[in-house]
Amino acid sequence: MDDFLAARSQMALSLGFHIIYSCIGMGMPVFMAISHFKWIKTQNPVYKNITVAWSKGVAIFFATGAVSGTMLSFELGLLWPGFMKHAGPIFGMPFSLEGVAFFIEAIALGLFLYGWNRLNNWVHWTAGIIVGVSGVASGILVVSANSWMNSPSGFDFVNGQYINIDPVKAMFNAAWFSESLHMIIAAFSATGFAVAGIHALMIYRKKNIQFHTKAFKIAIIFGAVAAIIQPLSGDLSAKNAAKRQPAKLAAMEAYFHTQEYAPLVIGGIPDTAAKKVNYGIEIPGLLSFLVHDNFKTPVNGLDKIPVKNQPPVAVTHYAFQIMVGIGVLMMLIAMVYFYELWKKKDLLSKPWFLKLFIWATPLGFIALEAGWTVTEVGRQPWIIQGVMRTSEAVTPMPGIQYSFYLFSFIYFTLSVAVIFLLKRQIQMVPELYDR
């Protein structure tokens, strides 16, 4: 493994790890605040127990998210000093604001976790809400920094110099809205489905049914609504990518040749050498329609992009297919949920219904990782789209592969530890929260 690949792998690993924790960190505090609100309103102790149980989860995920986030802010410099030297002042604005949001989140979390019996109920509740709101704000800000890498603005690049820097313009780059929206919705749908799935499993096993039923209902409503609106934001993102990163869109679709009535390719195995997709299903004109709202208008293919500026097609295409496939599946499951809810059926006593959600537990996170792969791999070989290549940004220090092995080990260990802890939390529900 050479240093460049090691640096990229380590970054991918760190982001892939952090993204799960930070998404849970955005979603769960909101669920927790809803349950807390219900407790204050109804004084039903089950809601209080759910709040406390979830807050433990929030604390564990916040701690892991915070340390992996700290790690990332250093890794930007440790692995990509060439990038940070120039990009820091341009796209640093959202990071500074994120620092503020994160700080407030940490303070609010301290107040929330230790505020039982010490703070006024509503002050305590507000602290919980602030955890959620600042978590979402952090998410938007960090994604806005990433969207700048995809859609750089707020500076002029003249003769290798970065001049006329405007950090505010850089923060509100053309892609910030669609990317952040997509990410936040993804966070809520993934977290909603995952939390609901775990509670569904416990109901299925007939354990503490009252507790898990109430918890399930709060989580799934977020997951289901988010899953249903996600395709809309996905469409917005794809149009955005088509306009600003035609190479990325072409790689996502494994679309090699520019043509009228551009087809949407579903599935298939891209053959980069022969420039075609084997075994894919083509729907003629649909890509043109999705990108240009017109079935005939040609869409630029990879043939319009010099080979040295093309992202890896296969990885981007597979990741995109996985994301979209799972997204559609989650949307369907959400529709089943709403249909049954509308029919007022006693859903949670039906094993098939519970199994559906148990099975769907990890789906959102797989889609999340796949989507992130599309964003990041689809941007290659650029670290700043069209301005700086990833290979120009990497640290001159050799031996990065050892650092990569080390971090692989650490992230693996942490993941095992978190799963272990969550398992113990769930096991202890009967003793701690369901008296």
How many other C-beta atoms lie within 10 A of the C-beta of residue 283?
11
Beta carbon of residue 5, minimum distance to another protein (angstroms, whole number): 17
Residue 83 near residue 384 (C-beta atoms within 8 A): yes
| List 12, 71, 356, 366, residue binding another protein (CB under 8 A) | 71
Q: Report if residue 95 touches another protein, rule: CB under 8 A.
A: yes
Integer CA distances (angstroms), 374 to 225, 238, 268, 339, in order: 24, 11, 16, 32
Integer CA distances (angstroms), 264 to 35, 256, 317, in order: 43, 12, 12
Region of 110-118, 227-235, 240-248, 369-377 interacting with another protein (CB under 8 A): 110-118
For another protein, the binding residues in 399-428 under the rule CB under 8 A are 399, 403, 406, 410, 414, 417, 421, 424-425, 427-428
Q: How far apart are the C-alpha atoms of 256 and 406, rounded to whole Å?
A: 39
Beta carbon of residue 4, minimum distance to another protein (angstroms, whole number): 15
Q: Report if residue 114 touches another protein, rule: CB under 8 A.
A: yes
Give the H/E segment covering residue 16.
Answer: helix 3-42
Compute how many residues bind another protein; rule: CB under 8 A. 68
Q: With respect to another protein, which residue has the nearer C-beta, 5 or 406?
A: 406
| CA neighbours closer than 13 Å in the CB half-sphere of residue 153 | 13
| List 85, 205, 257, 296, residue binding another protein (CB under 8 A) | 85
How many other C-beta atoms lie within 10 A of the C-beta of residue 419?
10
Q: Which one, of 387, 363, 380, 413, lies nearest residue 9 by Cα?
A: 380
Beta carbon of residue 90, minimum distance to another protein (angstroms, whole number): 7
Q: Report if residue 305 touches another protein, rule: CB under 8 A.
A: no
Beta carbon of residue 82, minimum distance to another protein (angstroms, whole number): 7
| List 1, 42, 110, 294, residue binding another protein (CB under 8 A) | 110
Q: Which one, of 284, 165, 190, 304, lies nearest residue 242 by Cα?
A: 304
Beta carbon of residue 23, minimum distance to another protein (angstroms, whole number): 18
What does the DSSP assignment read for 381-414?
TEEETTTEEHHHHS-S-S-HHHHHHHHHHHHHHH
Q: With respect to another protein, which residue has the nearer C-beta, 5 or 397?
A: 397
Residue 393 near residue 82 (C-beta atoms within 8 A): yes
Interface residues with another protein (CB under 8 A)? Answer: 56, 59-60, 62-64, 66-71, 73-74, 76-78, 81-82, 84-90, 92-93, 95-100, 102-104, 106-111, 113-115, 118-119, 165-168, 395-399, 403, 406, 410, 414, 417, 421, 424-425, 427-428, 432
